[in-house]
Structure 1
């Protein structure tokens, strides 16, 4: 093999060529690539028996390590994410070296009983990327009193759904701001943790506008997903969360969003979703009668729940008997409990006399 370097190349080009040399020649014909969610600055990613051949510090930190029958190239970017590329003489050896690296990286805080690992998808300069974070997620029994009787009953039924009971691919939570839709989804991630991985798409507009981004997320088989009991799985139910997608699903969405609505419908009840155990959860502030009829048609939704304010009586009970004369949202209730009465307004600032500046 012959390689040519010129003045436009930098040390990373040399390191990348060296990392792939044994793979190109066939000496190490097996390769494994792993995405690293969180890599500490001081972490040692050199497996036992490995020799550091090259390192580069700059916009990212790269290392080239070689051991008996394997080669490892690791890269850590400034945001703490990274990548590991392993080539080896056997598939088993490549997987073992990759497992060593991934075991030493990941979320800094281990999830507890009140936390779940949630994936966050976004389109970066390197293409679609998934980062995993441990987030607080309450049990449904702990927050059930935060919802009105009608909303609570519907949400409770959704929380108890099992994998074999999935009859629709869309979960739609609609209602005014501050009623607890996001909190309900965090509880859903907790209740479904044994059989469903929950991911959030941070840029839904780009997600549905770019087919390559969509396909990478939906079909990407290299994601290392984990159940709550620690077992790894490549397949299984996944729930993609899209928050505040009013423009995507309202009545005039077809004209405003182009093919985005069509791709959403295709994902939940079309060819794109066939063979993939995937659901989509959408939150919106739009009332039901303003949503596109194709989104809310019978059979498409696993759940279609209006998350509204608590009645005056329910609000009073929530506040331990404090008198309430009108319905209140969950955000207003927490503000009232914290000492801020949402029905009170700041005194108006008196009009000040101003000069004729112009």
Structure 2
């Protein structure tokens, strides 16, 4: 096998090519790999006795190529995570060397009581396909943030936070309303409330997800943990995907979303989809909001003036029609909501 390099290649590409060369030539025709989201700083990700052949290092990235009797290993590190790929003369040897390389390398974070572990999916060019990483994020309990929402919204969220697998009917959770009303905060708290039975993943590039069938299939299948837990895929600010003209504007994207929730793609998969949007209910596509499709559909709006005054403790800066949660936090910090002046209906239209 010949490998051609030019000035656009890096030492990391050389390390990759040397590993793949032994696999492609058939000298070591078996390969196994694994990745870790959190690696101990002192871990080398190399099995004991490995002979280092190449090493490429940067500030927050490294790649080491090493070998042993009948096997070759590439250990890559980046920030907190890492990945190990092993090629070997037999499948059993590849698995054995991989296990030795990973032994004791994983760093198990101790989640604080107010934290929850969430997954994040994105299409990675470096890893040549969909990739999932996990992060521990802060999330308040529902009683701690309940007053952040108007009475009607809080009542609806009460029911959503209490949902169990036996309660699931529809597969879509839809939170819609103006920006700054606390939709994302509610989803973080939902992840904490459901963490005993549901794995929550946020898709960072939803516009690519529903336009790439391969990407969608990888996420729909997910990473099996053997427990058959439910999964909630979070898609934030998906206005273009679910508004009334979505079928015309985004092609097959809307159809694939609906297929994931209650079509053939979603059959046999314990998958829920959570969507936030700033669109009004009247502008959403009828197929999205039809009866039976949504497990929960909640319009998250402004707090009334009375609710806002109770939340803030005084009425200074609060408009007659109330405030959003973001505006209340700005007032609490001593700032101004910086709201644009609203035109009255009697003022007529303008260009």
User: Does TM, normalized by the shorter one, top 0.5?
Assistant: yes
Provide structure 1 residue ranges, at least 5 long, that are not aligned to the other structure.
225-231, 347-358
Go from structure 1 to structure 2 and tell me whether the alpha carbon gap of 1:96 and 1:58 turns closer, same or farther (over 3 Å shift): closer
**Which residue, out of 278, 287, 291, partners 2:284?**
291
Give the match's secondary structure for 1:218.
Answer: helix
Q: How does 1:145-156 map to 2 (within 5 A)?
A: 145-156=147-158
Gaps of 5+ in 2: 6-12, 342-351
Q: Residues 142-181 of structure 1 correspond to what in structure 2 (within 5 A)? A: 142-181=144-183
> 1:12 and 2:11 equivalent?
no
Cα-to-partner distance string for 1:235-276 (whole Å, 9 max, x where unaligned): 321111110101100000010010000000000010000111
Per the normalisation by structure 2, the TM-score is 0.82
Q: Cα distance, 1:340 vs. partner?
A: 1.4
1:50–1:161 CA distance, 2 compared to 1 (3 A):
farther
User: 162-171 or 298-307, which moves further after superposition?
Assistant: 162-171
Q: Quick check: 1:56 aligned with 2:55?
A: yes
Distance verdict in 2 for CA 1:68–1:258, change over 3 Å: same
Partner of 1:104: 105
Say if 1:344 and 1:296 are closer, same or farther in 2 by CA, change over 3 A.
closer
Query: Does the aligned pair in 2 maintain the 1:241–1:280 contact within 8 Å?
Result: yes
Q: Normalising by structure 1, what TM-score? A: 0.80
Kept in 2, the 8 Å contact 1:110–1:134? The answer is no
- Cα deviation, residue 72, structure 1: 3.8
- Written as runs of structure 1 = structure 2, the 5 A alignment for 1:174-253 is 174-220=176-222, 223=223, 233=226, 235-253=228-246
> C-alpha displacement at 1:305, in angstroms?
0.4
Distance 1:95 1:284 in 2: 48
| Residue 142 to residue 12, structure 1, CA distance change in 2 (3 Å) | same
Closer, same or farther: CA 111–103 of 1 in aligned 2, 3 Å: farther
List aligned pairs for 1:83-102, cutoff 5 A. 83-86=83-86, 94=95, 97-98=98-99, 101=102
Q: Measure the CA separation in 2 of the matches of 1:212 and 1:7.
A: 29
- Count of residue correspondences: 326
Pick which of 257-266 and 316-325 moved more.
Answer: 316-325
Note if contact 2:15-2:65 (Cα within 8 Å) is conserved in structure 1.
no
Deviations 1:63-100 (A, max 9, x none): 344568875432235x6654222467676982784486
1:339 to 331, 334, 337: 334
1:76 aligns with 2:80: no
Other-structure match for 2:124: 124
